[in-house]
Amino acid sequence: DAGVIQSPRHEVTEMGQEVTLRCKPISGHDYLFWYRQTMMRGLELLIYFNNNVPIDDSGMPEDRFSAKMPNASFSTLKIQPSEPRDSAVYFCASGSQGRKDTQYFGPGTRLTVL
């Protein structure tokens, strides 16, 4: 199994630009999570989906952030417009209904907003 795949691995952009992060969960998993990791705030859950439906987006910082899961094998996290304070590592993780107690993390996308 390829594990959770995230792209790009690194993204450098300028303030005001739109950024799209992508995630492919493990095949057969029906939960998908987006996290943000910063030095100041640690690892925060932004949003998670079950069967492609957003269940809890209370961690999404503001309207500039949006996430979609159009099908079971693909999700995006979009920031528009981006700001320097959005610089962080963004992780995607997936899990299955039968094993909700275990999440499998991707390698992360390191975002730098100049």
Partner 1 sequence: AQSVTQLDSQVPVFEEAPVELRCNYSSSVSVYLFWYVQYPNQGLQLLLKYLSGSTLVKGINGFEAEFNKSQTSFHLRKPSVHISDTAEYFCAVSDTGLYEKLTFGTGTRLTIIP
Residues that bind partner 1 (CB under 8 A): 4, 31, 33, 42-45, 48, 50, 56, 91, 93, 95, 100-103, 105-108
Please state the closest distance from residue 84 (CB atom) to partner 1, in A. Answer: 22
Tell me whether residue 86 or residue 106 sits nearer to partner 1 (CB atom).
106
Please state the closest distance from residue 9 (CB atom) to partner 1, in A. Answer: 9
Gap between the Cα atoms of 88 and 113, Å rounded: 9
Residue 86, phi then psi, degrees to nearest 5: -85, -5
Please state the closest distance from residue 101 (CB atom) to partner 1, in A. Answer: 6
Is residue 44 classed as helix, strand or coil in its secondary structure?
A: strand
- b/e per residue 20-29 (b: at least 16 CB within 10 A): ebebbbbeeb
Tell me whether residue 80 or residue 97 sits nearer to partner 1 (CB atom).
97
